[in-house]
Structure 1
Amino acid sequence: MRLPSELARRDNNFNALRMLGAVAIVFAHGYNITSGRVESEDPVEALVYASGFRALDLFFIFSGFLVTASLLQRRDGVRFWVSRGLRLFPALLVVSVAIVVVIGPLNTDLPLADYVLSGETWLYPLVTGLTTYPDMPLPGVFEAQPVAGAVNVLIWTLRYELILYAGVFLAFCCGLLTHERAFAAAFAVLLLSYGALTSLTDLRDQIAFVDHAAHFSVSFAFGAFVWVFRRVIPLSAGLMLAGWAGAWLLAGTPLSDLARIAAAGYSFFWLAFLPAGWLRRYNRLGDYSYGLYIVHWPIAQTLHANVPDLPPVLIGLSSLALSLPLAVASWHVVEKPCLACVDDVTRLVKRAVSRPSGTEAAAEALPPRTRPADPALPSRKT
């Protein structure tokens, strides 16, 4: 197989794979919520956590690929930011309001009147829904849980998504995305910087932001790399197996993380363009992965808070069953209608940005004979 030269939205399995990734994260959080940890020596629990981390890689790799494709195909900076904003924030804001109105009253340890009258309560949807800040608490909510006070902490990844949007837009403005050699050089510099950061410093161990930014940057850039060089990248099961063999051989070395990203990323694209007609039918449903991602954590926390003896697998299954209808509603009621408005909002933004200044507007409003002469043109008398 070869990657397509142009991206057909329905002729791939991106939606299905992202949905599977979101489901893997739901089950990983079932264990995370009950234990308060993200790693374990238990082989089953460790496998669940590993699948959740690989699912995050999938999201960032596909995001790098799709966002780069959209930017290069349309070459419209205003539309790029409008579409990115409408993809992330409307659904996040709605979910944040629902958390305040529904999840908070069900789980707060405070008297309901104190919860409702607290300024922190009504500040939550603004801070969380408009800035992607993940650590904003709600008064008395989930304070006794293993992951204490975490109302919707999983949206911590969205800040890195926004940073990487800015990075790819800057690369586009500098011409790096439109010149293959320049992009390859920039990608090589990123990999070298990542290697030096990992092997020569302990910053990734000491500062979580540095660790996550480094890892997600490489994942996102890998997706962008695949789009830029799509015409020369073959997709084969043999190369996919070779990639995983290389990742296994490099395990425990400073290159292990890079090897896993490359092996997993190549596998994701092989699966995304696998010519399986029956799998393509999922595209008729919609893209429910984002809604499931941003809504399931507070539901899982609520389940554990009210039924603390519920096993992690059942928390995962129950939160998935409760979250999926909400994710479907989010797509059809919020996300899809907002995305349908991208072109209209883009035109409004461009019109507002290009609106003439007050002096120019006044001059345009004058009758043609009384308009001031353009000083850059000679008058008729001369």
Structure 2
Amino acid sequence: MSLVSTLPISEYFSNPQVYKYLFWNSIFLNFKAPWLPGVFGNQAVNGALWTLKIEMCFYIAVPLMFLLFGKNNKYRTLSLIVLYFLSLIYLNYFEMAGKAALSRQLPGSLCYFIGGMLIYFHFDKFIQHKNILFIIAIVTVWIDLIFDIKLFSPIMISIIVLYIAYSFKFLNNFGKYGDFTYGIYIFHFPIIRVFATLGLFANYNPYLMGIICMFVVIGVGIASWHLYEKRFL
């Protein structure tokens, strides 16, 4: 990112913000230092990184939630539903208070994760009734958008995503050559911002540049999988 900074290289690396950025991002607290000196007008370098902390918390929550609501717990579904609505209360309270950034933290985001868990634990019934559930989910998300409140939409989004995943056969081999989606997600934001900072969208055909940018993002995602992610796993 120093290459697209408005600061000279020497000033860039002598700026303490660079090291704050490295430190806070290394422990998944991107919101503490989201920008680098002179990069993108001192705006967030990568707007996608705020989700990594939430994702890591979800991974940590899996064994804890399974211990509480595992296979042998006859109150598992009820317990998860209660937890779902407690998460929703937190989420909606802070959104209505105008604190969207706080609402997205745990436990606010947990309702989306619980939606997937409930479907997983009742997967056979989901597959059996997936078409009608998909229609209900679309209507419910639309209603929640109209009234600007999240009530059932988090679990309905889970239904929509899993419906798509299990209804189109051509998607079944999506990961045949590797899982490029994570790299694409992680790297797309700064690559797009670099294109914009260099004036490529403004000074050249924006549609052509958009296509080129897309292929660069995909290429970086593929390279990330083969050179780093796959080896790390």
CA 1:118–1:239 in structure 2 vs 1: closer, same or farther (change >3 Å)? closer
What do residues 284-307 of structure 1 show as CA deviations (whole Å, max 9, x unaligned)? 111111111111211111111121
SS at match of 2:189: helix
Residue of 187, 190, 193 corresponding to 1:298: 190
Offset, 1:150: 1.4
Specify the structure having the higher radius of gyration (Cα).
1
Q: Does 1:326 align with 2:220?
A: yes
Residue of 205, 211, 224 corresponding to 2:97: 205
User: Matched residues in 2 for 1:229 and 1:333: separation?
Assistant: 37
Offset, 1:329: 0.8
User: Matched residues in 2 for 1:260 and 1:313: separation?
Assistant: 34
Structure 2 equivalent of residue 140 of structure 1? 38
Offset, 1:162: 1.8
Structure 2 equivalent of residue 263 of structure 1? 156
CA 1:162–1:313 in structure 2 vs 1: closer, same or farther (change >3 Å)? farther
2:130 corresponds to which letter in structure 1? S
The question of whether the paired residues in 2 share the 8 Å contact of 1:177 and 1:228 is answered with no
Residue of 103, 111, 114 corresponding to 1:221: 114
Structure 1: runs of 5 or more not aligned: 1-102, 340-382
Q: TM-score, normalised by structure 2?
A: 0.81
Structure 2: runs of 5 or more not aligned: none
User: Matched residues in 2 for 1:162 and 1:179: separation?
Assistant: 26
Offset, 1:319: 3.0
Structure 2 equivalent of residue 274 of structure 1? 167
User: Matched residues in 2 for 1:129 and 1:314: separation?
Assistant: 35
The question of whether the paired residues in 1 share the 8 Å contact of 2:94 and 2:100 is answered with no
The question of whether the paired residues in 2 share the 8 Å contact of 1:291 and 1:328 is answered with yes
Q: Does 1:131 align with 2:28?
A: yes
Offset, 1:250: 4.9
Q: Per chain length, whose mean CA-contact separation is higher, i.e. which structure has more relative contact order (CA < 8 Å, sep 6+)?
A: 1
User: Matched residues in 2 for 1:180 and 1:110: separation?
Assistant: 58
Offset, 1:312: 7.5
Residue of 150, 156, 179 corresponding to 1:287: 179
1:169 corresponds to which letter in structure 2? P
Offset, 1:130: 4.1
Structure 2 equivalent of residue 187 of structure 1? 80
The question of whether the paired residues in 2 share the 8 Å contact of 1:250 and 1:259 is answered with yes
